[in-house]
Amino acid sequence: MRDLVFFIPSIENGGVEKNLFLLLRYLSKKNNKIHLITASINFKKAKLNKNINIIKPASPYWNNKGRIFKYLICSIILIKFFFKKKIVIFSFQANVFAILISLIINAKIIIRLNTSPDKYMHNFLQKKMYKFFYSFADLIIVNSLSFKKIIKQELNLISKCIYNPINSKNIIKKKVNFFNKFKGLRILSIGRLTDQKDQITILKSAKILRDQGIRFKIYIIGRGYRYKRLLEYVVRNKLTKYVKLAGYKPDAQNYLTSADLFILSSKYEGLPNVLIEAQNSNIPIISSKCNTGPGEILLNGKLGELFKVGDYYSLYLKIKDFEKNNKSLKNKSNLAKKHLYRFDHDINLRKYFQVIKKLINE
């Protein structure tokens, strides 16, 4: 039997990490030989069972380095600790690095693709490169059926779709109200402040809402390198009374029930957990229809509203329609609860266990 080694050099605070910790906790009850290689030290070890062997650099120096440096040091650690040992590498990040190491040490490898290829496949050469490396993986796991289709069309590779496992009973730990007694349209968005999440589209819509005299407040939870740009837009367009950049919140999902409407504005995604969490909280949703994720979660508009990526005027119109008559979108939100079974915690974790078990026993 092979040991199972999870490879995620940079543990941050997003949906990928939520899925990682859920999977590690589940598998640690099934298999005692699990290792986690990372250069990050700030995550809460309490999230993991004690029998998981965490392997990290001896010095905390690497914790504050960029991703590429973490990839390199963790690759060295992977070779150092597992050279000539029978293992299965489960790569959650830096898949090309992990594949190269698997070839060097003759290990089995599973790669999990978390984000749509829109992020990194922009031309013919990039597609050829990823096709070459990914073809060495023993198993490719994606988190949506549309993602699976793209991998087949663009790279001619076979992948297995396993939805993100969501424990619907434990999403909301404590209800928190951002809006206090505000009487108007209460809008929430959650996501890192990056180009990918494209919150500037929400702000442009907010400007039109304000100019049309609609009473509203928008809270955007998250931190990231685009904070300054977003804040400058808010100040320059006199939106400080309407929009609040609320910063990072460790349990952001606790704020969902305080809102009337949830908005996702991403340019690309994999399968955004936050939309599923909003569905579970029965919050009406308006989302960009980026490749992979939102359209599938919202059943192409049956369970929420969709707008073209970056189309802030279309987003404004959908918010305006909701403000005038929210019955249609609330009905979609109620219907969404009936489709949450697709992301069931136990069902999807069991799927992971079955495919991992097969490789471990080879």
The residues of the chain scoring below 50 in pLDDT are none
Structure pTM? Answer: 0.90
CA dihedral (189, 193, 195, 199) positive or negative: positive
Residue-wise over 118-139: b if at least 16 C-beta within 10 A, else e?
beebeeeeebeebeebbeebbb
pLDDT digits over 44-85, tens only?
Answer: 665 677 788 999 998 888 988 889 999 999 999 999 999 989
Q: Distance (Å, rounded) from C-alpha 205 to C-alpha 246? A: 18
pLDDT digits over 283-341, tens only?
Answer: 999 999 998 899 999 999 999 999 999 999 999 999 999 999 999 999 999 999 899 99
Q: In 3D, which of 83, 90, 84 has the Cα closest to residue 37?
A: 90
User: Which pairing describes strands 108-113 and 139-142: parallel, antiparallel, or unpaired?
Assistant: parallel
pLDDT score of 45: 62
From residue 163, alpha-carbon distances to 25, 147, 281, 292, 346 in Å are: 17, 11, 19, 12, 11
CA dihedral (332, 334, 337, 338) positive or negative: negative
Beta strands in the chain (DSSP E): 3-7, 34-37, 53-55, 87-91, 108-113, 139-142, 160-161, 185-190, 216-221, 243-247, 261-264, 285-288, 305-307
pLDDT score of 49: 76
pLDDT score of 143: 93
Q: In 3D, which of 329, 349, 339 has the Cα closest to residue 30?
A: 349
Q: Which domains does the chain have, with CATH numbers?
A: 3-165+344-360 (3.40.50.2000), 169-343 (3.40.50.2000)
pLDDT score of 159: 96
pLDDT score of 108: 96
pLDDT score of 346: 92
Q: In 3D, which of 282, 324, 328, 327 has the Cα closest to residue 301?
A: 328
Q: In 3D, which of 136, 168, 7, 161 has the Cα closest to residue 72?
A: 7
> Within 13 Å and on the Cβ side, how many CA atoms surround 97?
21
